[in-house]
């Protein structure tokens, strides 16, 4: 225990020292208080900055989540549109196939009809020519002796060419033992130039489709037909 007597307190040096100590203590206390205040303010600022940065990060995160959700919805929508488009494309492909099939059937039917028509027209021309020849001939005609020969497969000739549908009309028919699907060889000046397949048959004439390997050959009337 420190004992302070009155005489000591009356000593100016002691009083001065006490004042100095008190002043130093007060200054030290003030400085510590200011440092504590500055530290507290700095911590508060950092805390506010951290809170603001957190809010910014949260806002960015929210925006990112919203953008992700929007992107996912758009992706789902695009997938649905893609499926719809694929379905429409498949339907169009089916329609195109059906249309092409129908068109091929119509072209084949038209080709068949046109071939038969050309055969009939050629037969008509031949009959008309025979009628004119008969009407010009004398009424009394000496008939030649008719000799019946065994049926043979004779050579014929091309009487008409249809370049649009690649077929020819020949003056051979069922009377010449010609059959549907039979392949004819075509010659010009004793030189082979191509082949055709019978697809329309009448008594004296027939129509034959030019086979693919010879569709670029220019067939002409009076080309010779031989049955192989």
Q: Using CA atoms, how far apart are residues 164 and 109, in angstroms rounded to an integer?
A: 14
What CA–CA distances, in Å, run from 180 to 8, 51, 81, 103, 104? 153, 96, 53, 24, 21
Q: Using CA atoms, how far apart are residues 43 and 205, in angstroms rounded to an integer?
A: 114
pLDDT > 60? residue 24 = yes
pLDDT tens, residue by residue, 89-118: 888 788 788 777 777 777 767 777 777 777
φ, ψ for residue 201, nearest 5 deg: -125, 130
Q: Using CA atoms, how far apart are residues 162 and 158, in angstroms rounded to an integer?
A: 11
> Could you tell me the residue ranges of all domains in the chain?
1-142, 156-227
* Per-residue pLDDT, 150: 41
What sign results for the dihedral spanned by CA atoms 50, 56, 62, 64? negative
Query: What CATH number should be reported for the domain whose range is 156-227?
Result: 2.40.10.340
* Per-residue pLDDT, 172: 93
pTM for the structure as a whole: 0.44
Residue with tokens 């002691």: 14
pLDDT tens, residue by residue, 135-173: 665 544 444 444 434 444 568 999 999 988 899 999 999
């Amino acid at each position: 225990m420190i004992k302070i007597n009155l005489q000591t307190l009356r000593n100016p040096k002691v009083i001065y020292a006490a004042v100095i100590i008190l002043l130093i203590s007060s200054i030290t206390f003030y400085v510590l208080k200011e440092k504590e205040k500055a530290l507290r303010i700095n911590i508060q600022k950092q805390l506010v900055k951290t809170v603001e940065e957190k809010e910014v990060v949260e806002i960015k995160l929210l925006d990112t989540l919203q953008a992700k959700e929007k992107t996912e919805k758009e992706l789902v929508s695009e997938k649905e549109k893609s499926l719809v488009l694929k379905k429409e494309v498949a339907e169009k492909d089916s329609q195109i196939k059906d249309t092409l099939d129908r068109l091929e059937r119509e072209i084949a039917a038209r080709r068949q009809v046109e071939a038969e028509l050309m055969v009939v027209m050629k037969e008509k021309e031949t009959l008309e020519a025979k009628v004119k020849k008969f009407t010009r001939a004398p009424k009394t005609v000496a008939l030649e002796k008719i000799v019946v020969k065994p049926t043979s497969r004779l050579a014929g000739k091309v009487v008409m060419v249809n370049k649009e549908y690649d077929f020819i009309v020949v003056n051979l028919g069922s009377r010449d033992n010609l059959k549907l699907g039979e392949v004819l060889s075509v010659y010009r000046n004793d030189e082979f130039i191509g082949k055709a397949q019978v697809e329309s048959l009448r008594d004296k004439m027939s129509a034959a489709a030019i086979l693919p390997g010879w569709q670029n050959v220019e067939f002409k009337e009076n080309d010779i037909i031989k049955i192989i």
